[in-house]
Amino acid sequence: MYKVGITGGIGSGKTTICNFFKTIGIPVFSADLEAKRILNESSQVRSQMIFHFGKDIYLSNHTIDRKKLAGIIFNSPSLLEKVNSIIHPEVRKFFFEWCNRQNSAYVVHEAAILFESGFYEMMDFNILVTAPEEQRIEWVMKRDNSTAEQIKERISMQWPDEKKNQLANMTIDNNNRELIVPTLLELDKKFRLHG
Ligand code: ATP
């Protein structure tokens, strides 16, 4: 199965582009959504999370305490790495199981940290989505009701586009939603030939 990775910084438009692929019938795997699900549902992940962060990392309804987790990972790169090392192997395992269930010429894997996690190496083609920082901040402020400062802080924790660009097979500049549709249709044609 041909695998296409899609990544980009916060608010660059990865999900918007993945939604286009979904609309034309391509299966899309969202690593970030799966990671959230696995945190709540995998007993192996749960016991490792409790071992490292204490049982209070889960709420009384057995779902992860997102506020507490955010507090841990935003303040310490090494703890963020720890959390990732607990979750990533499970997400990977689930991705390959998921691929085996798809009946499609190709699949799309959306992940915020595709390059950082090394998962891009398991893809056949990697796309980086970019947009000007000011534009991304404006979009995310509207979408999440967050402040420019909060978004800038998150951007500063991510790899810069220049670094990701070196590992990507292609970069899509998401400056204008209309203009990217022909590019996406061309890509779809190309990926179908591989499938
Ligand atoms: P995150 O990493 O935060 O999940 P993302 O890269 O998946 O972000 P999206 O959620 O796709 O980004 O886009 C962020 C916001 O910007 C959304 O509200 C989306 O509708 C809007 N947006 C994205 N691209 C465009 C565009 N070309 N024109 C107008 N709005 C856009």
pLDDT in tens, 43-56: 999 999 999 999 99
Q: From the CA of 47, how far away is ligand 1's center (Å)?
A: 34
Q: pLDDT per residue over 50-92, tens digit each?
A: 999 999 999 999 999 999 999 988 888 899 999 999 999 999 9
**Residue 167 structure tokens:** 């590992």
The Cα angle at residue 17 between residues 114 and 35, in degrees rounded to 5:
40
Q: Quick one: which atom of ligand 1 is closest to the CA of 32?
A: 4
Q: How far is CA 5 from CA 98, 120, 130, 193, in A?
A: 15, 7, 14, 17
Structure token digits, residue 137 = 């901040």
* Percent with pLDDT over 70 in the chain: 98
CA 60 / ligand 1 centre spacing (Å): 33
CA distance 74 to 99: 32
Residues with CB under 6 Å of ligand 1 are 8, 10-16, 112, 139-140, 143, 174, 176-177
What is the DSSP-derived secondary structure letter of residue 124?
Answer: S
Tens-place pLDDT, residues 107-134: 999 999 999 999 999 999 999 999 999 9
Chain mean pLDDT for the chain: 94
Pure H helices in the chain: 14-23, 31-41, 43-53, 66-75, 77-101, 133-144, 148-157, 161-165, 177-194
Single pTM value for the model: 0.93
Map residue 154 onto helix, strand or coil. helix
For ligand 1, atom 18: residue with the closest CA: 143
- Could you tell me the CATH superfamily of domain 2-27+102-190? P-loop containing nucleotide triphosphate hydrolases (3.40.50.300)
Residue 14's region, left for phi above 0, alpha for psi from -120 to 50, else beta, is alpha
pLDDT at 77: 85
Per-residue pLDDT at 175: 85
